[in-house]
């Protein structure tokens, strides 16, 4: 299994692999004052809290959010939960069968299926993006799993991807959706990062729900763009019709069993953010612009050192392949992703999760880098990044990027020294 390193750590400490996934990456920025005010007001009201699946106010706000994105939905086709992981766990339990995910994928997708005892099968992604499996690889995997007695029913995908920071082109997404439909799969579209496009006027993002409305459930964690990561809230949009209604009911059953209701004080800023008032949209635009600039500088740094990485198009992450620097890493005793994670985390400071956390092969030398930790150590430093036209030139950001550059440049120089003479 690709989670061998997790199990090795887990066995030593007496617990399993789920505990070792990387933490959700926040945006590293101070909480927006308008959101803090709404949260404080909601906390002061007390009351009975939110019902499982969300109250009418937050569900209606979610309907408006999706309608503005060309995905209209009735309020009864929406569920709210304390984070996307709770929704995915409930959906996996409700749908049954085996689960298919792209390789690599968000670190939290596969553990929830395994927690339910469901087999998880990773499907290769194309060379130019992550988040969506190659359609031919998907068909081959489904047919192989069925031939071996498996029961694939659920495909999880993401058009704006964590960990790679890429956006799936519409033609690839269309082919993938057609393949999923041909094999009778239900598709969960994780659209947590859809509102974080680095160049929204140049990037076309389509939802699978626009292509296959009857078999796609959309899940959006509000920590992607609208809320701080520490305020767990996510929304799900179910397909129209009888099947969607039945799935919605089963998901509510699971959430009820889990006690999976959004905290009352968090529901208020969630509803507020989903209506997208001016303070929220202004902050989102500024935060996306900031992370795009820092991600671009980070990409330039690692590529100049000889590592490989697709240009980031969304979110706050960069997925880096250090195989070209393997000779230098071998000299440092690094031979797999777990050792690479330990090596880079010790030198860079912030956690640098290896590719095995995201379903990649343990032997592949890949890591995910995040932009949030580069923005400073205090609220004042992070706030300064929001208003700077050149945030990478701020002293604290420059120091952080210089540290990354130093580590990667040293590896590049070591790799050159390790090259055999011609």
d(CA 170, CA 355): 26
d(CA 316, CA 290): 10
Q: What are the tokens at 71?
A: 């995905």
pLDDT band (50, 70, 90) for residue 28:
confident
At 42 the pLDDT is 81
pLDDT band (50, 70, 90) for residue 8:
very low
pLDDT band (50, 70, 90) for residue 46:
low
Is 306:188 a contact under the CB 8 Å cutoff?
Answer: no
Is 276:220 a contact under the CB 8 Å cutoff?
Answer: no
pLDDT of 269 > 70? The answer is yes
Q: What are the tokens at 120?
A: 């998880």
Pairing verdict, β 216-221 and 234-237? antiparallel
Global pTM? 0.92
Instruction: Give the distance from CA 274 to its chain's centroid.
Output: 19
Instruction: Give the distance from CA 265 to its chain's centroid.
Output: 25
At 9 the pLDDT is 37
At 12 the pLDDT is 42
d(CA 218, CA 405): 38
Q: What are the tokens at 294?
A: 């820092």
Tell me the mean pLDDT in the region 288-316. 96
Task: State the chain's mean pLDDT as an integer.
Answer: 91
Got the DSSP string for 145-169? HHHTT--EEEEEE-SB-TTT--B--
The interaxial angle of helices 278-304 and 395-418, nearest 10 deg, is 30
Q: Where do we find the tokens 């985390």?
A: 345
DSSP alpha helix (H) spans, 167-241 = 170-182, 208-211
Encode pLDDT of 190-201 as tens digits. 999 999 999 999
Encode pLDDT of 333-388 as tens digits. 999 999 999 999 999 988 899 999 999 999 999 999 999 999 999 999 999 999 88
Tell me the mean pLDDT in the region 241-267. 96
At 13 the pLDDT is 45
The better pLDDT of the pair 350, 141 is held by 141
Nearest to 341 by CA among 124, 181, 107, 151: 107
Contacts of 316 (CB under 8 A, 6+ apart): 25, 27, 165, 196, 291, 295, 370, 371, 372
At 418 the pLDDT is 65
Tell me the mean pLDDT in the region 104-120. 92
Q: Where do we find the tokens 């009820």?
A: 256
Pairing verdict, β 186-190 and 78-81? unpaired
Distances, alpha carbon 275 to alpha carbons 14, 63, 72, 110, 263, in Å: 45, 9, 14, 31, 19
Gyration radius of the chain over CA positions:
21
d(CA 371, CA 162): 13
d(CA 251, CA 154): 14
Q: What are the tokens at 252?
A: 């509510």
Is 222:206 a contact under the CB 8 Å cutoff?
Answer: no
Nearest to 107 by CA among 185, 169, 25, 186: 25
At 70 the pLDDT is 96
At 7 the pLDDT is 34
240-256 burial, b if ≥16 CB within 10 A, otherwise e?
Answer: eeeebeebbebbbebbe
């Amino acid at each position: 299994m690709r989670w061998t390193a997790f199990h090795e750590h887990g066995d030593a400490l007496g617990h399993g692999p789920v505990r070792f996934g990387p933490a959700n990456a926040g945006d590293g920025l101070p909480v927006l004052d308008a959101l803090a005010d709404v949260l404080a007001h909601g906390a002061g009201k007390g009351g009975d809290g939110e019902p499982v699946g969300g109250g009418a106010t937050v569900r209606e706000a979610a309907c408006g959010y999706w309608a503005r994105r060309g995905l209209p939905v009735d309020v009864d086709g929406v569920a709210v939960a304390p984070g996307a992981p709770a929704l995915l766990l409930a959906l996996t339990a409700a749908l049954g069968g085996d689960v298919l995910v792209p390789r690599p994928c968000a670190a939290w997708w596969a553990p929830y299926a395994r927690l339910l005892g469901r087999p998880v099968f990773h499907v290769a992604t194309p060379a130019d993006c992550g988040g969506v499996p190659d359609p031919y690889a998907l068909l081959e995997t489904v047919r192989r799993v069925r031939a071996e007695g498996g029961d694939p029913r659920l495909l999880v995908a993401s058009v704006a991807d964590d960990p790679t920071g890429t956006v799936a082109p519409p033609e690839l997404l269309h082919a993938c959706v057609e393949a999923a439909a041909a094999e009778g799969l239900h598709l969960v579209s994780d659209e947590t990062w859809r509102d974080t496009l680095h160049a929204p006027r140049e990037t076309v993002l389509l939802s699978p729900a626009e292509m296959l409305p009857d078999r796609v459930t959309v899940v959006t964690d509000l920590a992607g763009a609208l809320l701080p990561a520490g305020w767990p809230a996510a929304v799900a949009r179910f397909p129209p019709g009888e099947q969607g209604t039945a799935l919605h009911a089963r998901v509510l059953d699971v959430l009820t069993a889990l006690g999976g209701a959004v905290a009352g004080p968090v529901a208020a800023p969630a509803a507020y953010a989903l209506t997208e008032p001016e303070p929220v949209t202004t902050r989102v635009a500024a935060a996306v612009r900031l992370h795009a600039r820092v991600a671009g500088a980070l990409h330039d740094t690692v590529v100049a050192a000889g590592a490989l990485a697709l240009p980031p198009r969304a979110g706050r992450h960069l997925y880096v392949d250090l195989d070209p620097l393997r000779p230098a890493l071998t000299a440092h005793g690094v031979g797999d992703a777990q050792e690479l994670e330990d090596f880079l985390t010790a030198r860079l400071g912030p956690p640098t999760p290896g590719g095995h956390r995201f379903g990649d092969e343990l032997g592949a030398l890949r890591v995910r880098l995040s932009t949030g930790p580069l923005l400073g150590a205090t609220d004042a430093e992070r706030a300064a990044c929001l208003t700077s036209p050149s945030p990478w030139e701020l002293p604290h950001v420059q120091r952080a990027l210089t540290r990354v550059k130093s580590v990667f440049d040293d590896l590049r120089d070591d790799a050159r020294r390790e090259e055999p003479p011609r």
